[in-house]
Amino acid sequence: MICATDMTSGLASESVMLDIEVDRSLLDVLYRGRLMELRDRAEVEGFSKTGSVEVLRARLIQHLVLGEMDLSWEGIQSLTHKEAGAVLKVFGIKSSGSHKERRQRLWLHLNFDSRRLSVEHLADMERDELHELCLRLELPLTGTRTVLMGHVAGVLTSQGRGWGRIKRSLWRSGIPDAKAEAPKDEVVEEEDEVLKVDIAEEAFEEASPIAVLEDARDLIVKDLDKTDSEVQGALLTIGARVEELERMIGSILRGHSGNWGSTEEGLLLRLAERRGWPLDSEEVRSRVISVATNIAESKGASIGEGVRTRIDAAATMTRVRERMQYAETLIEDD
């Protein structure tokens, strides 16, 4: 066990003193953990094992590494500027910015999946949901639904990819020299585990666990009743072919050295279209890509900057403003 000052010194040049202790070896294991490994760890520890790999990672770091800290919204508000930065470093995400930006980023990271809470998804939220987001993000609470949506969109755009996913260097290599501080038997166990993961990466076509396929099927047909009949039919068709989707992903990963990004996403869509999958709707294509990325991640793929994560801030804000203006005209007409 070491002080957070020592742990963060390897992650950033500026050390920050916190009255907490951090298990460096445990944190290293959580940084490098894959989806199924983190799920197993969560089950053993008695925590929920739902969510993406990054949601699970954040949950385990919060409870196992920083378990004695109050990281509720109120607890986050009580952190000083330097304390908030130190905690962000422990979670392996961006730690710079103003005091308010750090609080916002930490709260988002602990409470949302960055793939589910995006600017594009705000239009589907009710006013009460947007009001709650504004409250937690310390934003103005008055105004119409579209005004509140604009406030939240501004924060999500400015925060960018600073939350929701640990830094790639930590995911790949963990904390330098962390194993040297672990007990000898623990080091051997971790080395065996890493070896098994490396072997698994060479066998991407191995069938995914049933739980992964069930999660994929659930995500594809989520909120089915909110879509039109044509989209419903397409999603139900694809939901029944999840096993085929999983096999295509495995083949692509094997041929692309285990990498998954925009190139692989495009290839998957082309393969699926050749097989007659109903992918005319942008909603359907988006869901297929989202689910495919989750499956690729569970297989141990190296996730790159896919088309869904590359958001042009200016273009995004323009779209949000257009939606807001259109909504305001509807309100005026009423």
Q: What is the pLDDT of residues 133-166, one digit of tens each?
A: 999 999 999 989 999 999 999 999 889 889 999 9
List b or e across 78-103, with b for residues whose CB sees 16 or more CB atoms inside 10 angstroms: ebeebbbbbbbbbbbbbbebeeebbb
What band does 189 get if pLDDT is binned at 50, 70 and 90? very low
Do residues 45 and 101 share a domain? Answer: yes
Domain termination residue (choose one: 130, 159, 188): 159
Do residues 151 and 218 share a domain? Answer: no
Q: What is the pLDDT of residue 115?
A: 83
In a domain, 95, yes or no: yes
Pairing of strands 259-260, 21-22: unpaired
The Cα–Cα gap between 69 and 166 comes to 20
Do residues 10 and 154 share a domain? Answer: yes
Do residues 213 and 136 share a domain? Answer: no
In a domain, 217, yes or no: yes
In a domain, 308, yes or no: no
In a domain, 250, yes or no: yes
Q: Could you count the other beta carbons within 10 Å of the beta carbon of residue 115?
A: 18
Do residues 93 and 122 share a domain? Answer: yes
Q: What is the pLDDT of residue 323?
A: 58
Do residues 109 and 206 share a domain? Answer: no
Do residues 153 and 217 share a domain? Answer: no
Number of domains in the chain: 2
In a domain, 310, yes or no: no
Estimate to the nearest angstrom the gap between the alpha carbon of 22 and the chain centroid: 23
Q: What is the pLDDT of residue 179?
A: 58
What band does 50 get if pLDDT is binned at 50, 70 and 90? confident
Mean pLDDT of the chain: 79
- In which residue are the tokens 């259109």 written? 326
Q: What is the pLDDT of residue 186?
A: 44
Q: Cα separations (Å) of 319 from 150, 233, 280, 314, 325?
A: 11, 28, 22, 9, 10
Domain termination residue (choose one: 159, 187, 212): 159
Q: Of the given ranges (70-74, 276-280, 315-319), which has the lowest mean pLDDT?
A: 315-319
Domain range for 54 is: 2-159
In a domain, 168, yes or no: no
Do residues 52 and 196 share a domain? Answer: no
Do residues 193 and 107 share a domain? Answer: no
Which residues contact residue 140 at a Cβ distance below 8 angstroms, ignoring those fewer than 6 apart?
Answer: 134, 151
In a domain, 104, yes or no: yes
What band does 10 get if pLDDT is binned at 50, 70 and 90? very low
Do residues 155 and 192 share a domain? Answer: no
Domain termination residue (choose one: 106, 129, 159): 159
Do residues 146 and 184 share a domain? Answer: no
Do residues 155 and 14 share a domain? Answer: yes
Nearest CA-CA partner of 302 in 53, 8, 131: 53
What's the whole-number mean pLDDT along residues 172-177? 79
In a domain, 326, yes or no: no
For residue range 273-295, list pLDDT tens digits in order.
888 899 988 989 999 998 998 88
